[in-house]
Amino acid sequence: MRILVTGASGQLGSSLRKAAENSPNEYIFTDADDLDITDPEAVALGVGCNDFQAIVNCAAYTNVDRAEEQEDIAERINATAAGYLAKAAADNGIPLIHISTDYVFGGNLGNTPRTENEPLNPTGAYGRTKLHGEEAILKSGCRHIIIRTAWLYSEYGKNFVKTMLGLTSTRPQLNVVFDQTGTPTYAQDLADAIVDIIDNGKIDGNEGVYHYSDEGVCSWYDFTKMIAEIAGNTDCDIRPCHSDEFPSPVVRPSYSVLDKTKFKRTFDLEIPYWTDSLKICINNLK
């Protein structure tokens, strides 16, 4: 099988490249320079003429704050391009695996983990554009697996773990919000799961929307404390603070834990606990 992967230089795309190293299938990794997914003709030609048997769309506009000022750009990448890929998948009779986000829920819906069928009501541009992407895929009629994830980090690019590693090693004191709760997700864990789904033929018959994050729950404050502890950055005094001490144009959910029951039952996969994966990532970075 030949699998097209978009967004190859991002966190998940880079992790997928590692996950696919020993795969019997051929994964073709592309970025905007290789395939402009915002160009419908380029997508139709790129998918239709290269004998792909599946598409994994990792490409996304992920800057949550900046999306408020650049919603048109975010819409083009997160929604319009997703629609083009979905149409190409439908036209060629192949499945699309698309990565979405917990931000499609928006608001504060209590402290129960979000299931796939709960109401969607994003409160910011990033969440709106990602929801529009999901809707475009559903409208296309293509075979699809949409995976919503959250709090993604890795050894690649800019992310919370790498930022906190730097700050806790250089600052004597650091304030981090404690009133936003979720689950850190190691991109390599998600990438490994996606490759398992593809390589073991688990797509057909399992189309739909799923949630994936690592196991467990923490706040950003707890996350930072664990990062510093694993890295040995014990000289930094990390203190909890409220979200309103860091003004933002986006209302972030106070509780953003995803229920992974459907994913685990459907694909028969175990999901690592977040601190175990965090140790692996930090050790790789060190």
Each residue's pLDDT expressed in tens, for the chain with a length of 286 residues = 999 999 999 999 999 999 999 999 999 999 999 999 999 999 999 999 999 999 999 999 999 999 999 999 999 999 999 999 999 999 999 999 999 999 999 866 678 999 999 999 998 999 999 999 999 999 999 999 999 999 999 999 999 999 999 999 999 999 999 999 999 999 999 999 999 999 999 999 999 999 999 999 999 999 999 999 999 999 999 999 999 888 888 878 889 999 999 999 999 999 999 999 999 999 999 8
Instruction: For 130, list phi and psi in degrees, rounded to 5.
Output: -70, -35
Q: What range defines the domain where residue 81 resides?
A: 2-158+185-215+257-272
Residue-wise pLDDT for 47-99, tens only, equals 999 999 999 999 999 999 999 999 999 999 999 999 999 999 999 999 999 99
Candidates 156, 150, 157; CA nearest to 255 is 150
Backbone dihedral region of 144: left (phi > 0), alpha (psi from -120 to 50 degrees) or beta? beta
Q: Is residue 49 part of a domain?
A: yes
Candidates 3, 53, 10, 5; CA nearest to 158 is 10
Q: Is residue 166 part of a domain?
A: no
Q: What's the domain count of the chain?
A: 1
Q: Is residue 232 part of a domain?
A: no
pTM comes to: 0.97
Instruction: Give SS3 for 53.
Output: coil
Tokens 């890795």 appear where? 154
Q: Is residue 236 part of a domain?
A: no
Tokens of 97: 């695996």
User: What CATH number should be reported for the domain holding residue 131?
Assistant: 3.40.50.720
Q: Is residue 38 part of a domain?
A: yes
Q: Is residue 11 part of a domain?
A: yes
Q: Which one of the listed residues 103, 126, 212, 255 is annotated catalytic? A: 126
Q: Is-catalytic flag, 221?
A: no
Query: DSSP E strands: which ranges in the chain?
Result: 2-6, 26-29, 54-57, 96-101, 144-149, 152-153, 173-177, 181-182, 185-186, 208-211, 218-219, 237-241
